[in-house]
Structure formats: C-alpha cells, structure tokens
Amino acid sequence: MKAVVKTKRAKGLSLVKVPNPVIGPREVLIKVNNASICGTDVHIYDWTRWAQQRLSPPRILGHEFVGTVAEVGEEVTVVKVGDCVSAESHLTCGHCYQCNNGNAEVCRNFKLLGVDHDGTFAEFFVLPEHVLWKNSPDIPLEWATIQEPFGNAVDTVMVEDVAAKTVLILGAGPIGLFAAGIAHACGASLVIVSDPNDYRLAISKKMGAHAAVNPRKEDVVGLVMEATKNIGVDVVLEFSGNNQALNQGLKVITPGGRISILGIYERRVNIDLNKDVIFKKVRIYGITGRKIFSTWYKTSRFLSTGMVDPGPVITHRFPLKDYEKGMKLMKDGKCGKVILTVSP
C-alpha cells in the first residue's frame, strides 16, 4: 500500500510503498477515506527540535481521519466491518493512575497516533478497538475527519462556561478558528481573535468572531481594553504558542478571569506571575488532547446538529500523493484545514 512516511532523521517526507498492516485479536484494520494535516505533522516534516526529541523514524504520519472498518480481530466487539469510524489519537493504556481517575488524556503510558504508532497517511492502518469512535451518519465525511482537533477546541473553550462572557482568542490556526465557532455557539457576548495572518483572520469572521486583530498592525491590548470598556476579557484562549501573545492575553484578562492554554511553546516562556496571575486571581488551565470520550460526544453533537459549521475552516483538498502542496500551504499560513483524500 502507499503511505506518507518519515523515513529518516532529516527534513521532509516520502510517499512510499509499505506492507499492508496485520491485525491482532483486539485490533481493527481501517481503510482511510480522508486524513487531515495537523501542525504536528508539519513539525515532523520540518524536523523541528520537538520532532527530533519525540519521534524515531521510520514512521507513517497522520492522526486525524475518517475511515471504514475493513477487518476486525477475533476478540473485537465494539465495531464491525463497514462501520464509519474516527479515533482518539491518544492510544491509552487503560490501567494507570490517570486512566483510572478520569484523566485518560494524560495517560502515563499513552502512545500518540502518527508519532509512536503508524498513522493515517496511508491506505490502511491498524488501531486497538478501545480508541475507536463510531461516527454519526449526520456528519459529512470531511467534517468527521476534523473531530480530533475540533475536540481540542471544545475542551479549551468549554473547560468553564463562556455564555454571555467576553473572549479573546490568541492564534487563528484551525483549532483557534474552530474555537471561535464554538465560543459563538455557546453564547459568548464578544469574541475577539488575534493573529498576524490576515487570511486566517478573515476566516475567523466567518466562524463568528465579532472582531479580528492583527498584532503586527494594531495594538491588541489597547483594542481589547477599548472593546471591553476597560474591564478586560473574561476568558483568554491561547492557541499560538507565542510568548508575546501569551503576555498580551494575561494583560487583558479581567481580575478573576481565566485562561486556557493549548498552544505549544518551543522555548520557556517569561510571564509576570505576580502582577498578571497571582494578584489578578487568574485561573490557568493547561489543555491537552480531549476528554476520552466525553469530549467526542460534545464534538459529535456540535457537528451533527449544525450548531457549528466548520466548513469555512476547511479550505483545501488534495489527493494523498500531493501532500507536499498541503504542507507548503500550512507552513506559508495560506490555508485553514487541509484534507488529504486517501481512498475516495
């Protein structure tokens, strides 16, 4: 079969032929219909410091997908051949302290799909049945593909209530854009998005943002304070992984507000804990992955009912063989979500 593989410890990927995977008794063979490109895949493509420390080639990339069950192991009971599925990308152990205490998203022994376990940029791949999610027939295939990153946005927004609150979103990558739609659907009274990419800021307006700010051209702190009549925002959602953006967010949180941080930082960050956190009584949430599987239920309902339309975020589609085009668009910031068609 064909697959996009990180074949060596250097920049780039390769489209190569690899053997078809073989399933075990509790595993499922999945035929991939669509897979979407994540920022993690771009890090691996570019062979960044994070990728160098995290991944050992060879590895088939990809963790966001929708597919069809092609074969099941003899002990599989959750799904059957022909089912339309996606999956949790954190392959959890199910028996560590975190898994047993409702925090499986931070399982001590998890493996990450497309990083520690061969992923979805292939015609077929194998997963254990316990991480599979059967898709609602009311969700279009393209939308089903993006449930994993959409779930990140769900948890970042909804870790606390946002109804009638003012929200600042830092970073308008696909997850930040999904967050704008989710915050709007949840009744936020004001949603402001900050990003240096005008292309993505335009998408944010389509997703329900009331205001879009380019920090390279405008004073984010000043504009946010003006928009909130000098009160500051109730909620900051940090997706950028940028130290300057993080500090801007902390400056404009109203005392007693909260910040959710999903962005990943290449280096240690500098913040004024005393002034911007402690004395303002700011609540900080670190967000990783999704609640397994409670977030998936929320995601499915947002998408199947049409409460959030992710369509504006899905900007480009390519066959698997043209994955390089998608990677380039991602690196240039000239796209929203890029979907690869693996098996039509």
User: Is residue 176 within 8 Å of residue 167, measured between CB atoms?
Assistant: no
Label residues 235-252 b or e (16+ Cβ within 10 Å = b). bbbbbbbbbebbbbbbbb
305 is an active site residue: no
Catalytic pick from 7, 43, 288, 315? 43
Residue 35's DSSP bridge partners are 65, 340
Backbone angles phi, psi at 305, to 5 degrees: -90, -10
Residue 6: Cβ-neighbour burial (10 angstroms; 0-12, 13-18, 19+): buried
Query: Beta 190-194 vs 2-6: how paired, if at all?
Result: unpaired
Reduced to 3 states, what is the DSSP secondary structure of residue 90? strand
43 is an active site residue: yes
What residues have CB less than 8 Å from 316, skipping those under 6 apart? 325, 326, 329, 335, 336, 337, 338, 339
Strands (E), 130-245: 132-134, 166-170, 190-194, 211-213, 233-238
The DSSP call for residue 312 is: G
**Hey, what are 63's tokens?**
């963790």
User: Is residue 290 within 8 Å of residue 151, measured between CB atoms?
Assistant: yes
Catalytic pick from 40, 92, 120, 295? 40
Catalytic residues: 40, 43
